[in-house]
Amino acid sequence: MTQDELKRLVGQAAADYVNANVPEGTVIGVGTGSTANCFIDAIAAHKHRYRGAVSSSVATTARLAQHGIKVFDLNEIESLPVYVDGADEIDPKGAMIKGGGGALTREKIVASVSEVFVCIADASKRVPVLGGFALPVEVVPMARTAIGRRLTALGGVPVLRVTQDGAPYITDNGNEILDVKHLTIHDPRALEAEINAWPGVVTVGLFAGRGADFCLLGSEAGVETIDYRSDR
């Protein structure tokens, strides 16, 4: 199967999981990116079961609206039984690098309040150690150079994310992103806490303190369900 076919496979598997495990009339959390889009497309056929969704980005809000799914502000919601999102990398304990699509801050906020975090990914995203994918760090623009120096001191190579015309990429929150290459992240939880503590960092794209509870991993053999909760 192609990577797109694998994404559709796990998107459908996530919709099946949500339909089987999440009560009717609730609000679900939805992530950002091409794999999350496959989940949105799959869950749209069952949208009558749910009050609506909390979105992690402007792009996801638009796709949900296209399917006629009501989008709630997180401040309107008392509980979120499930959050479904993709990953750029995921390690054997469910820690992830996320943010390739630029929505890491809102993704982390929605994930933090969800009862269950379901990661959906193709098998290429499973790695023994995080760091092969450049680590996104969303920063307040005035702190970009200062944060870059600190990331370099960690052994990384920070690169400002830019658009096709060479302008700085601006997040939905009005900030910039440094993509940090050449890191080997043996302790993602500790590195997440360290970088998040630096003044000027909005958030780092390490999801370790709140990692995935499950991963629905698509491969040629089908969809593998991995449960990380016993490792915590």
Separation between Cα atoms, residue 127 and residue 118, nearest integer Å: 17
Give the number of other Cβ atoms within 10 Å of residue 223's Cβ.
18
Furthest CA-CA distance within the chain: 51
| Active-site residue flag, 176 | no
Separation between Cα atoms, residue 180 and residue 195, nearest integer Å: 12
Question: Is 108 labelled as part of a ligand binding site?
Answer: no
Question: Is 34 labelled as part of a ligand binding site?
Answer: yes
**Dihedral of alpha carbons 168, 169, 170, 175, sign:** negative
Question: Is 99 labelled as part of a ligand binding site?
Answer: yes
Q: Based on C-alpha coordinates, what's the Rg of the chain?
A: 17
Catalytic residue among 24, 76, 107, 115: 107
Question: Is 41 labelled as part of a ligand binding site?
Answer: no
Question: Is 2 labelled as part of a ligand binding site?
Answer: no
Question: Is 85 labelled as part of a ligand binding site?
Answer: yes
Question: Is 101 labelled as part of a ligand binding site?
Answer: yes
Assess contact for 127 and 162: CB atoms under 8 A.
no
Separation between Cα atoms, residue 52 and residue 26, nearest integer Å: 7
Question: Is 166 labelled as part of a ligand binding site?
Answer: no
Question: Is 33 labelled as part of a ligand binding site?
Answer: yes
Cite the annotated binding site by residue number.
Answer: 32-35, 85-88, 98-101, 125
Cite the annotated binding site for substrate by residue number.
Answer: 32-35, 85-88, 98-101, 125
Residues with catalytic roles: 107
